[in-house]
Amino acid sequence: MSAPLEKGCQARSKFETFTPQLHHKCDCALSPQVARSSGSGELALKDRRHGKFTAIAVLTAVVFVATGIAHGQEMSIRQVRSTVTDPTVRNVVIVGFVGGFVSRNDTKHPEVQFAAYLRDRYPTIHAEVYGNHHGRKALHQVVSFLDTDHDGVLSSIEKERATVILYGHSWGATETVAFAHELDRMGIPVALTVQIDTIGKPGHKASAISPNVATAINFYQTKGPLHGAPEIVAVDPARTQIIGNIRMTYENRPINCDNYSWYSRTFNKPHHEIENDFRVWDEVASLIDSDLPDGPSIVPAPSPSGSPFFKYLKRGFQAHGTETALLKTPSDGNGN
C-alpha cells in the first residue's frame, strides 16, 4: 500500500507545482502592459482562456487519479480482510513440551529441534516449544495465534480454521494431554496429540484423551527406572482415534545419547533413547504431513532423520542410515 500512496503524493505534488510554472511561462500570466506591447490584446485573452482550461484539465486528471488510487487501496484492504476471514484457510499451530526441567531453548533435546524443523518445512505455520510447567503461557500464545482479527475473542470461524497439533516427551507428554483438555474447555479442536514415553507429573493424575482430539498416538519403552505409560485411551472413542500404543525397544538397537549428561546416560538411558530415536520423529513428521494435506505449501525437505537439524543425533547405530526404517503397523504394538 505504500507504493500507491507514494504515487498519489507525487501526483499531488506535480499539480501544486504546476500552477506557478503555468503563470510564469505562459503569455496569459504576463502583465497587461507586456501583453499589449506584443501588438495583440485578443491573443493575450485567448492565451489566458487557454491557460485556465489547461489548469482545469490537469485538476480533473489529478482527481481521477486520486480516486483510482483510493479505490485500489480499498480493494486491497478488502482482499486482505477476505483472506483473514476465509474459513478455508487453515491456521496451523504446533506446540511441543519438553520433559523434566528442560528449557524450551535447550537445543540438545529433539523436541526443540523438531519445532525448528517444522518451521523450516512449513514456513507459514506457528511451531513453538514450552517447558511442561508453562502450560498457561503456551495457552495464551495459542489463543493469540488463533485470534486472527485481534479482537481478543475467538470466533467460531477462527476455531474452525484451527489445526492444533501437540507433542511432548516425559512430563511434557503429560502436559500435552492436560493442554488438550484446556483447549477442549475453550471449544478449540486438536488434530493430533503425540506422547513420547509419558511420565506422570507430581500432583497430576493420568487422564484420558479429551474428546476435542481427532487422533492420538503413544510411544513408550519399558526399561530403566523411568518408563512411559503403555496405553492411552480416549474419553470418547467415537470422536478420538487412538492410532496406536507403540512399544520401542533398544536392546539390539542402541541409540547414542551423548547429547545428555553422564547421569542421564548411565541411569536413565532408555528414557532418552526413545527421545533421540529417529524412527519416532520420522513417524511424527509423517503424521503431521498427513494432517496438513491442504495446508501451507511444503518446502521440499527431508524427514527428520535426513535433516541437518538432527545431524547431531547421527551417531552410533543411527549413523548407518537404518533409522529411516518405518515402524510396524501400530496395531502390532511394537516398534521393531
Asked if 77 and 135 sit in the same domain, the reply is no
Per-residue pLDDT of the chain (336 residues; tens, 9 = 90+): 444 444 444 444 433 433 344 344 444 433 333 333 344 444 343 444 455 445 555 445 444 444 444 444 433 433 433 333 444 578 999 999 999 888 888 888 899 999 999 999 999 999 999 999 999 999 999 999 999 999 999 999 999 999 999 999 999 999 999 999 999 999 999 999 999 999 998 877 778 999 999 999 999 999 988 889 999 999 999 999 999 999 999 988 899 998 888 888 888 999 999 999 999 999 999 999 998 866 555 667 788 988 888 877 877 778 766 544 445 544 444 544
Return the pLDDT at 301.
Answer: 73
Asked if 95 and 74 sit in the same domain, the reply is no
Domain assignment of residue 77, given as a range = 2-84
Return the pLDDT at 143.
Answer: 97
Asked if 14 and 133 sit in the same domain, the reply is no
Return the pLDDT at 6.
Answer: 43
Distance from the first to the final alpha carbon of the chain: 57
DSSP state letter for 210:
P
Asked if 47 and 146 sit in the same domain, the reply is no
C-alpha 194/C-alpha 209 separation (Å) is 11
Asked if 78 and 133 sit in the same domain, the reply is no
Segment holding 21, helix H or strand E: helix 2-25
C-alpha 306/C-alpha 174 separation (Å) is 29
Asked if 40 and 169 sit in the same domain, the reply is no
* Closest-CA residue to 125 (of 10, 267, 291): 291
CATH code of the domain covering residue 288: 3.40.50
Return the pLDDT at 128.
Answer: 97
Taking residue 308's Cβ as centre, other Cβ atoms within 10 Å add up to 12
Q: Are 298 and 128 in contact (CB under 8 A)?
A: no
Last residue of a domain, one of 84, 118, 139: 84
Return the pLDDT at 302.
Answer: 83
C-alpha 48/C-alpha 75 separation (Å) is 41
C-alpha 84/C-alpha 147 separation (Å) is 10
Asked if 184 and 239 sit in the same domain, the reply is yes
DSSP state letter for 104:
T
Segment holding 194, helix H or strand E: strand 190-196
Asked if 142 and 215 sit in the same domain, the reply is yes
Helix (H, G, I), strand (E, B) or coil at 127: strand
Counting the structural domains of the chain, the total is 2
CA dihedral (144, 148, 149, 154) in degrees, to 10, reads: -60
- Give me the residues paired with residue 215 across strands: 192, 241
Asked if 66 and 191 sit in the same domain, the reply is no
Asked if 173 and 54 sit in the same domain, the reply is no
Q: Which residues neighbour 1 within 8 Å (Cβ) at sequence distance 6 or greater? A: 73, 76
Return the pLDDT at 191.
Answer: 97
Asked if 170 and 234 sit in the same domain, the reply is yes
Cell readout for 329 is 503397523
Last residue of a domain, one of 84, 100, 118: 84
